[in-house]
Amino acid sequence: MILYDEDIAREIADDFPERVRLAMPKRFADVAGVILAGGDSRRMGRNKALLEVHGERMIETAYRRMAELFDEVLLITNSPEVYDFIPCRKIADIYPCMGPLGGIHAALSCCTADRAFVTACDMPWLNSELIRELSSMPGGVDVVIPETPGGLEPLHAVYAKSCLPRMEKVLQAGERRIISFFDMAQVRLVPRGRVAALDPDYASFRNINTHEDYQQLAQKIHTQSDLIPDRHSLQENLLA
């Protein structure tokens, strides 16, 4: 069941006064930060997690953002040796070859926190305030998921351990879609208007899947004067 909760803003304001949240940002102890890095990057032709954006590899950017926000950070990968330079726990899939759903299941099975914010390794524009907003929302549901003009965003969402039995049911049936268990779960939808208030361009949800995506990102950075010094690594990667 999906909940369209129009009172979320008031609930959060009561629990987290704006002046306190802005003055004293803190890391979450009751929510883990999870990075999925299990894809085979077939459309890119190489491991996109290791491509550079803004002078650092995308996996490093994702880890840095998660470490700023969460006490517990997990990297879900079946090739942990590739990411030895990332100083967090690496977890392998319990249900191999089942895509992001299998990765989220592994994360929830292994994290110590009761909930986990999940993102992918190829999303270079993660927005700390939006992640903090989603992770701060009251519990009592299985999933907190943002909506954009493109639909639901399951790779930028918060999942509770209560999802595990439902996930296992669909995984055992061979289902790979993340949303396949939603009709059995309590899902809180964060409307696009609330998302846009913190991320007007919905940049948080843009990922890099192909060489063309990466090239477009290089073009965008090239036109932003404050990021021009970092664009050379992108150009070098495009020529590699």
Q: What is the pLDDT of residues 152-169, one digit of tens each?
A: 999 999 999 999 999 999
Task: Return the pLDDT at 42.
Answer: 55
Region 118-124: mean pLDDT is: 93
As a whole number of angstroms, the distance between CA 103 and CA 111 comes to 12
Burial, 87: exposed, middle or buried (Cβ in 10 Å; 0-12, 13-18, 19+)? Answer: exposed
2-209: what CATH class?
alpha beta
Task: Return the pLDDT at 39.
Answer: 61
**Strand ranges (E), the chain:** 2-4, 31-36, 52-53, 56-57, 73-76, 89-91, 115-120, 143-148, 151-152, 156-160, 187-190
Domain boundaries, the chain: 2-209, 211-240
As a whole number of angstroms, the distance between CA 79 and CA 64 comes to 20
As a whole number of angstroms, the distance between CA 57 and CA 71 comes to 22
Backbone Cα Rg of the chain? 18
| Residue 147 DSSP SS3 | strand
What band does 174 get if pLDDT is binned at 50, 70 and 90? very high
**Better pLDDT: 163 or 211:** 163
Task: Return the pLDDT at 43.
Answer: 52
pTM assigned to the model: 0.81
Region 200-208: mean pLDDT is: 91
Burial, 229: exposed, middle or buried (Cβ in 10 Å; 0-12, 13-18, 19+)? Answer: exposed
> Per-residue pLDDT for 225 more than 50?
no
CB proximity list for 82: less than 8 A, separation 6 or greater: 47, 50
> Per-residue pLDDT for 236 more than 50?
no
Identify whether the C-beta of residue 16 lies closer than 8 Å to the C-beta of residue 89.
Answer: no
- Across-strand partners of 30? none
Task: Return the pLDDT at 216.
Answer: 64
Please report, to the nearest 10 degrees, the dihedral formed by the alpha carbons of residues 22, 128, 146, 221 taken in order: 130
Identify whether the C-beta of residue 153 lies closer than 8 Å to the C-beta of residue 100.
Answer: no
**Better pLDDT: 15 or 170:** 170
Task: Return the pLDDT at 45.
Answer: 54
As a whole number of angstroms, the distance between CA 220 and CA 55 comes to 15
Burial, 131: exposed, middle or buried (Cβ in 10 Å; 0-12, 13-18, 19+)? Answer: buried
Task: For residue range 31-48, list pLDDT tens digits in order.
Answer: 999 999 976 545 555 688
- Across-strand partners of 4? 189
CB proximity list for 64: less than 8 A, separation 6 or greater: 56
Region 111-123: mean pLDDT is: 96
Please report, to the nearest 10 degrees, the dihedral formed by the alpha carbons of residues 52, 53, 56, 59 taken in order: -80
Give residue for tokens 């943002």.
146
Tell me the average pLDDT of the chain.
83
Task: For residue range 41-79, list pLDDT tens digits in order.
Answer: 455 556 889 988 878 899 999 999 999 999 999 999 999
Task: Return the pLDDT at 207.
Answer: 84
Give residue for tokens 């102890």.
29
Task: Return the pLDDT at 237.
Answer: 42
